[in-house]
Amino acid sequence: MNNVVELPNAHAMEPSEDSVALAFTREFGSTMRFDHHAGAWFQWAETHWMKLDTPVAFHYARVLGRRLGSGRKAMCKSSVAAGAERFARADPVHSVTSEIWDSDPWLLGTPGGTLNLKTGRMHKPRPGEYITKRTSCQPSSERPERWLQFLQDATRNDPAMMTYLQRVAGYCLTGMTTEHSLFFIYGPGGNGKSVFLNTLVHILGDYAQNAPMDTFTSSKFSSHPTELAMLKGARLVTASETEEGRAWAEARIKALTGGDPITARFMRENFFTYQPHFKLLFAGNHQPKLNNVDAAMRRRFNMLPFIHKPDAPDHMLEEKLREEAPRILGWALKGCTEWQAEGLARPAEVVVATDTYFEKQDLISQWLEDNCRVEKGNHSLFTSSANLFNDWSRYAIAAGERPGAKNSLLENLGRLGLVQHRLPPSLGKHRGFKGIELLSPKSGDFYND
């Protein structure tokens, strides 16, 4: 879009910063907005609202100032244009916050118009819908033959898995987060996981955002809130190439997939809160570890195995698939319709892969099996919380894992059906659990008669 436009003559008024700002609003009241959270101007580009990365608004104010001042030197100063722009920013006609942009989860901007994902109908872009994003192409109803062949190769022609991948892609077109899911594609190199991920990113265009894996894995350094601010309005957030031995930042994963509002800020701007519309889709050779396996994480995680290498690898496949982008977008739209009608039930291969992942991560269960005698109905068994945690900590550290907080272990034991109990004063007031004892009992463990 050409940002340098011809301005009509401004209405006659006494020249000043204020009068220039008023003239600015008369000329651009319907096509210019200032987002106070992003600290940036947006301009209507006939198909979508475009963020202005150059000082276009300042330029418009400067041109108007020159006209209002009839060429007087005082009105041509940059300070006048800057002051007028500041006035315009505060005008209610222009002034908005980030919540206004891309807020309807069922509208999808495309180069050919705005698509209603509920009805499947396309309509002409409307400024009042405040859409800033577009897919990379217009959808086509033709079959994406090369793409379908790729999926057959990647899944060994598993119809259930192919249907699931199509619905995942369709779900990612929307701004809905009702599935509260994280999708992790794993497998050795050369099996198509990056091709699948990158193709979805390509067709989604502005709606896809790549983030560093450090945003989602634990680190001794805290993440900057701008990382989350950049995800505002995205519908698909991807990350790839996980390092072996990394662990998930579990609290953040729960927050980002739970559908609750997210608080973030842009660099040197104030904090703001937004409703997330994005789905997390990761790919990697190594699956990050979980320090705590609980029901919330089990609900969220979906492990997608891409473990079949093609018989004849095509190193140009990703480029060739771009030629089918409109057809692949049409394929994803069909998946969106199916997802709305039938949901996102996991196929057997995903269920098995996910269960296997959690079995490997559930170090607490392994510790109970190796170091403890568990008889939930046997209340004559008792072990203090302190001794349980100390033994668990030694076990976890020996396995190369962090033991986490004591309360986290106690909550996990409670979820497993063990009963918390406090011994009477005569026995030392120890807090602990009935129905469990260490195979090598420690001092402070008592047996209730």
Query: What does the pLDDT profile of the chain (449 residues) look like in tens digits?
Result: 444 444 445 444 567 899 999 999 999 999 999 999 999 999 999 999 999 999 999 999 999 988 887 667 767 788 999 999 999 999 999 999 999 999 999 999 999 999 999 999 999 999 999 999 999 999 999 999 999 999 999 999 999 999 999 999 999 999 999 999 999 999 888 889 999 999 999 999 999 999 988 889 887 666 667 889 999 999 999 998 767 778 898 889 999 999 899 998 888 788 889 999 999 999 998 888 887 788 889 999 999 999 888 888 888 999 999 999 999 999 999 999 999 999 999 999 999 999 999 988 888 888 999 999 999 889 889 999 999 999 999 998 988 777 888 988 998 898 788 988 887 766 666 789 999 999 986 554 544 43
Is the Cβ–Cβ distance between 164 and 347 less than 8 Å?
A: yes
Strand pairing category for 301-305 and 182-186: parallel
Mean per-residue pLDDT over the chain, rounded: 89
Q: Which fold has domain 145-358?
A: Rossmann fold (3.40.50)
348-361 and 159-173 helices cross at what angle (nearest 10)? 80
Q: 3-state class of 419 per DSSP?
A: strand
Nearest of 163, 197, 149 to residue 337 by alpha carbon:
163
Rounded (5°) CA angle 89-90-95: 70
Return the structure tokens found at 337. Answer: 């319709």
Give the β-pairing of 382-384 and 431-434. Answer: antiparallel
**Residue with token string 């509920």:** 118
401, 248 Cβ separation under 8 angstroms: no
Whether the Cβ atoms of residue 202 and residue 282 lie closer than 8 Å to each other? no
pTM as predicted: 0.81
pLDDT in tens, 383-401: 999 999 999 999 989 887 7
In 211-370, DSSP assigns E strands to: 236-240, 262-264, 272-274, 279-284, 301-305
Do residues 269 and 37 lie in contact, with contact meaning Cβ atoms separated by under 8 Å?
yes
Are residues 43 and 32 in contact, defined by beta-carbon separation less than 8 angstroms? yes
Provide the 8-state DSSP code for 64: H
Sorted by sequence, the CB contacts under 8 Å of residue 186 that are 6+ apart come out as 193, 283, 284, 285, 286, 287, 303, 304, 305, 306, 353
Query: Residue-wise over 216-234: b if at least 16 C-beta within 10 A, else e?
Result: bbbeeeeeebeebbbbbbb
In the CATH hierarchy, which fold is given to the domain comprising 362-438? Arc Repressor Mutant, subunit A (1.10.10)
Domain regions of the chain by residue span: 17-96, 145-358, 362-438
Angle at 426 between CA 425 and CA 429, to 5 degrees: 35
